[in-house]
Amino acid sequence: MCMLTGTTYIFGKGGGLITYTWPNNERPSTRTDRLAVGFSSTIKDGILVRIDSAPRLGDYIMLHITDPASPPHSS
């Protein structure tokens, strides 16, 4: 369980973007990463967070919420 104090970002109706890039010589070398996130939102459908890997790899993880009354999205 994470016990560290978090950082809060508040975005308006237009959404927002937070970008962090590891310096090339300081990228972590791990096989396992852990991410703790929390959200408060009034939207029923949308992408909450997307994390991209190194630029040339094309890998990413995305957290998306969908209105249960809507049909699922196809990717």
What is the DSSP track for the chain?
A: ---S--------TT---------GGG----S------------SSEEEEEEE-STTT--EEEEEE--TTSPPPP-
Can you give the pTM of this predicted structure? 0.57
What are the boundaries of each domain within the chain? 34-70
Confidence of residue 47 (pLDDT cuts 50, 70, 90): confident
Q: How far is CA 50 from the centre of its chain?
A: 4
Q: State the amino acid at position 12 in one-letter form.
A: G
Q: What is the pLDDT of residues 3-32, one digit of tens each?
A: 778 788 888 888 888 888 888 788 777 777
